[in-house]
Amino acid sequence: MLTNVIPKTRSELTLPGLEAAVGNTPLLPLQRLGADLSPDVQVYAKAEWFNPGGSIKDRPAFNILRTALERGELEGGKRFLDSTSGNMGISYATFAAALGIPLTLAIPSSASPERFAILQALGAELKLSDPLESSDGAIHLAQQIYAVDPQRYYYANQYQNDANWQAHYLGTGPEIWHQTGGQVTHFVCGLGTTGTFTGVGRYLAEQNPDIRLISMQPDSAFHGLEGLKHLETAAVPGIYDDSLPDWQLTVSTETAQEMTLRLAREEGLFVGVSSGAAAVAALNIARGLDEGIVVTVFPDAGYKYLSERFWESA
């Protein structure tokens, strides 16, 4: 029997304020969209918009900030610096505001207006990168900013920072294991920084080597799946463990957008486009099974995507 009650770790019990609300997100079934599956197959998604900053990025953002503070990396009034395509920046800004840490973010100028509005409301200093270079352009800009004045900044570099995947190894992975009572058979996850897939994948593989780990990414270099990377044409994150995937899937932008609308209108789940892509991949895996429990991750809600045209579809 599945349960949404997760035993709290000692560190979670001692965290003050806003940080204590990170993690322990619900595991929700896909009911109507999974109606055509075998009776012994179930698909579940972690509802990561329940985090205080509104996305799964709260987990690594807080862990990276906490690790930097514990190591004294921010002493002397250094500014916290990193690149972002949106969600990670919002999570950084949420906790930086709560902790009184000055924050500078490199972000593509093509990020959605909703993201810019939230980041400005939270007080982040924004440096805009070339929209044609996507998240890789923001990475390069952050590196340039740091190189010019390394004494002023602590550069977190989420794509190379072990505290990223460790947040999921210590949190998201154990939650999925406990919520399914150890019955999860397949884990499906999109690749962006790759921290979620790497951390959860390593944890689940240790619990049961028979669990299949399936990575998902956009089907082309030019895509509209915010937060996901087409690794064949993008800079591969240093934290990515390419030995983990048992299978690799690709999803088109159009298919993900169609599924995002279906999730809203058939499941009542108002989520972002990367969640739609995750649902496509998870359901494709589930349709090939006679029995099993397929778990995926829905990184955020749909509020930051309302300016996109696909919502207008009939």
pLDDT bin (cut points 50, 70, 90) of residue 6 is: very low
- Rounded distance, CA 193 to CA 189, Å? 12
pLDDT tens-digit readout, 109-128: 988 889 999 999 999 999 99
CATH number attached to the domain at 58-155: 3.40.50.1100
Other beta carbons within 10 Å of 241: 16
Q: pLDDT tens digits for 129-148?
A: 998 888 889 999 999 999 99
pLDDT band at 9 (very low <50, low <70, confident <90, very high): very low
Query: Contact at 8 Å (CB) between 48 and 153?
Result: no
Q: In whole angstroms, what is the distance from residue 152 CA to residue 274 CA?
A: 34
Sorting pLDDT into bands at 50, 70 and 90, what band is 270?
very high
11 has a pLDDT exceeding 70: no
**Which residues, 6 or more positions from 35, have their beta carbon under 8 angstroms from its beta carbon?**
none
Q: pLDDT band at 16, cuts 50/70/90?
A: low
CATH topology agreement for domains 10-52+171-312 and 58-155? yes
**C-alpha gyration radius of the chain:** 19
User: Which pLDDT belongs to residue 137?
Assistant: 92
Count of alpha carbons within 13 angstroms of residue 144, beta-carbon side: 10
Mean pLDDT on 225-232: 87
Higher pLDDT, 272 or 5: 272
Confidence of residue 67 (pLDDT cuts 50, 70, 90): very high
Task: Return the active site residues.
Answer: 57, 274
Domain limits of the chain? Answer: 10-52+171-312, 58-155
Beta strands at 27-29 and 40-47: parallel, antiparallel or unpaired? antiparallel
Q: What is the Cα–Cα distance from 3 to 193, expressed in whole angstroms?
A: 29
DSSP string, the chain: ------PPPHHHHH--GGGGGSS---EEE--STTTTS-TEEEEEEEEGGGSTTSBTTHHHHHHHHHHHHHTTTTTTTPEEEEE-SSHHHHHHHHHHHHHT--EEEEEETTS-HHHHHHHHHTT-EEEEE-GGGHHHHHHHHHHHHHHH-TTTEEE--TTT-HHHHHHIIIIIHHHHHHHTTT---EEEEE-SSSHHHHHHHHHHHHH-TTSEEEEEEESSSS---TT---TTTSPPPTT--TTS-SEEEEE-HHHHHHHHHHHHHHS---B-HHHHHHHHHHHHHHTT-SEEEEEEEE-BBSGGGTTSGGGG--
> Does the pLDDT at position 194 exceed 80?
yes
Determine the Cα–Cα distance for residues 213 and 173; give it in Å rounded to an integer: 12
Per-residue pLDDT at 239 = 97
Token representation of residue 277: 């892509």
Q: What's the pLDDT tens digit per position in 271-291?
A: 999 999 999 999 999 999 999
- Where residue 235 falls among pLDDT bands split at 50, 70, 90? confident
How high does pLDDT run on average in the chain? 92
What pLDDT does 138 receive?
Answer: 93
Phi-psi group of 276: left, alpha or beta (phi > 0 → left; psi -120 to 50 → alpha; rest → beta): alpha
Which residue's entry shows tokens 């955020």?
300
- Look at the pTM and tell me if it is higher than 0.85: yes
**Residue 42 vs residues 35, 190, 279: alpha-carbon distances, Å:** 10, 19, 12
Identify the CA nearest to 57 among candidates 82, 10, 23. 23
229's tokens? 């990377």
Assign domain 10-52+171-312 to a CATH class: alpha beta
pLDDT at 8 over 50: no
pLDDT band at 13 (very low <50, low <70, confident <90, very high): very low
